[in-house]
C-alpha cells in the first residue's frame, strides 16, 4: 500500500514526519508572519520596537530599513522547536517620494529534519517622528546641567575633560537612545539639556567623580497635568568645577605637589620630590593651596660651592645664590628647574 500524506491525501511523495514536503513546510511557514509593518523615525531613522525607539547604528536608510525588518520578523516568529532559521537576507524594492525605503522583501531559509526550504516575506516601512526628535524640535527637556568653572569661565583643559566625559556617557550609558537634546556654550560655560532628570543626575555625578566638581540641584514647577493632576518639574543641576586642574602645582603641609586629577571625588596629588602619590578627601582639600604662576620662575642650575648653589633666573637674566637644602636633590648642574616662592620661602624643584 502506497504511503500518503494524511493532510492533503497526495501519494507517492517523499514524506517528512508523515507529511509531504509541501504540507510539512506549510506547517512551519505559517508561523512566520508576512506583510510586516516596520516603523522608523523620519528624522533619525530609529526603529520602533514595541513601544521603545531603538537606534540602529547604520547611517544608510536602506540598511536601517532592512535591519529593522529583520529584527521585526525575528520578534514575531514562533516556529516549532525542530525548525531552525539558517539565514535571512533581503533588499529594499520600493522607495517613497522622499527617496526613503518603502517596501522590503526578505528571503528566509529554514532547516528541519535534514531538509531545507526558502520563502519570501514582505514588509512595508512607515515613518513617524520619535519621542526624542519631537522633544528636540519642540525644545522640550526635563533637566538642565550647567557646567561652570572657577570665576565662571572654563579652561581649555576643563573643556577637554567635559568633551571626553560626554563621549564616554554616550558610549557606556546612552547605548540605545540619546537622552541629551542640546549642548551649547553659555556664560563662559556649557549647558546640557536632558530628556530625563535621572540621566542628568547620573552624568553630573560621573563628571563630579572625574573632576571633583561641586554639585547643587534645584527644581522649578513648570505646570500641572489637567487630567492626572500631576505636577511637572524642571531640574537644574549646577556643576561647579574646582580651581585645581591636572598639572597645577599646589602646597600641602609645607610640601609641593603636582595635581594629577580627581577620582571618585578625591584629589590625586604627586609629591614633586619623592614622586609618591596621595589622595585627599573633600575635607582635606581645604588645606591645599594653589601656587600662583607669578610665584613660579624657570631657573638654570649652576655651580654648587660649599653650602650654596648658583642659579640663573631665565626670565630676568640674573644670578641668585640659594642654600643647597633649597635645591631639589635630583637637580644637577645644567638642569632647568622651577623656583617657587612658597609663603616667603624659596624652593627649587625639577621642571614639571
What's the CA gap between 297 and 314, in Å, rounded?
A: 8
Q: Return the closest-CA partner of residue 313 out of 325, 305, 324, 322.
A: 322
- From 109, 129, 149, the end of a domain falls on 129
Which H or E run includes 27?
helix 21-29
List the CATH number of the domain containing 287: 2.30.30
For 299, list phi and psi in degrees, rounded to 5. -135, 150
Degrees, nearest 5: CA angle 343-346-349: 120
Instruction: Tell me how far apart the alpha carbons of residues 66 and 305 are, in angstroms, rounded to a whole number.
Output: 81
DSSP class of residue 26?
H
Instruction: Quote the CA–CA distance of 329 and 342 in Å, as a whole number.
Output: 18
> ∠ at Cα 132 (127, 136), nearest 5°?
110
Say yes or no: 261 and 214 in one domain. Answer: no
User: Is 203 within 8 Å of 156 (Cβ atoms)?
Assistant: no
Q: Answer yes or no: do 59 and 118 share one domain.
A: yes
In a domain, 296, yes or no: yes
Least confident range of 55-59, 143-147, 200-204: 55-59
Segment 110-115 shows an average pLDDT of: 80
* pTM to 2 decimal places: 0.55
Both 228 and 168 in one domain: the answer is yes
pLDDT in tens, 298-348: 888 888 887 888 888 888 888 888 888 888 878 888 888 888 887 777 888
Closest Cα partner for 108 from 127, 126, 142, 84?
A: 84
Domain that holds residue 100: 31-129
Rounded CA separation 72/346 (Å): 72
Q: Which of 223, 240, 257 is the last residue of a domain?
A: 240
Residue 14 lies in a domain: no
Amino acid at each position: 500500500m502506497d504511503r500518503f500524506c494524511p493532510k492533503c491525501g497526495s501519494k507517492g511523495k517523499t514524506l517528512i514526519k508523515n507529511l509531504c514536503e509541501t504540507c510539512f513546510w506549510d506547517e512551519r511557514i505559517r508561523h512566520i508572519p508576512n506583510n510586516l509593518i516596520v516603523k522608523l523615525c523620519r528624522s533619525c531613522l530609529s526603529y520602533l520596537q514595541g513601544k521603545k525607539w531603538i537606534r540602529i547604528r547604520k547611517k544608510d536608510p536602506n540598511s536601517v530599513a532592512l535591519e529593522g525588518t529583520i529584527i521585526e520578523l525575528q520578534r514575531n516568529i514562533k516556529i516549532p522547536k525542530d525548525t531552525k532559521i539558517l539565514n535571512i537576507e533581503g533588499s529594499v524594492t520600493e522607495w517613497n517620494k522622499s527617496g526613503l525605503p518603502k517596501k522590503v522583501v526578505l528571503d528566509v531559509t529554514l532547516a528541519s529534519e535534514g531538509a531545507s526550504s526558502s520563502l519570501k516575506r514582505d514588509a512595508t516601512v512607515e515613518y513617524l517622528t520619535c519621542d526624542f526628535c519631537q522633544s528636540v524640535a519642540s525644545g522640550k527637556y526635563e533637566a538642565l546641567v550647567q557646567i561652570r568653572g572657577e570665576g565662571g569661565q572654563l579652561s581649555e583643559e576643563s573643556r577637554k575633560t567635559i568633551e571626553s566625559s560626554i563621549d564616554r556617557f554616550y558610549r557606556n550609558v546612552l547605548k540605545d537612545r540619546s537622552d541629551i537634546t542640546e549642548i551649547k556654550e553659555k556664560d563662559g560655560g556649557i549647558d546640557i539639556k536632558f530628556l530625563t532628570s535621572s540621566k542628568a543626575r547620573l552624568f553630573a555625578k560621573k563628571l563630579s567623580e572625574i573632576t571633583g566638581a561641586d554639585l547643587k540641584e534645584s527644581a522649578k514647577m513648570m505646570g500641572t497635568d489637567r487630567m492626572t493632576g500631576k505636577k511637572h518639574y524642571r531640574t537644574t543641576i549646577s556643576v561647579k568645577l574646582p580651581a585645581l586642574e591636572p598639572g597645577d602645582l599646589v602646597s600641602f603641609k609645607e610640601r609641593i605637589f603636582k595635581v594629577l586629577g580627581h577620582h571618585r571625588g578625591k584629589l590625586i596629588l604627586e609629591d614633586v620630590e619623592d614622586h609618591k602619590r596621595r589622595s585627599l578627601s573633600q575635607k582635606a582639600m581645604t588645606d591645599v593651596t594653589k601656587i600662583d604662576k607669578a610665584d613660579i620662575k624657570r631657573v638654570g642650575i649652576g655651580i654648587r660651592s660649599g653650602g650654596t648653589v648658583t642659579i640663573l633666573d631665565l626670565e630676568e637674566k640674573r644670578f641668585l645664590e640659594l642654600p643647597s637644602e633649597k635645591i631639589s636633590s635630583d637637580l644637577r648642574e645644567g638642569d632647568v628647574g622651577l623656583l617657587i616662592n612658597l609663603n616667603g620661602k624659596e624652593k627649587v624643584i625639577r621642571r614639571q
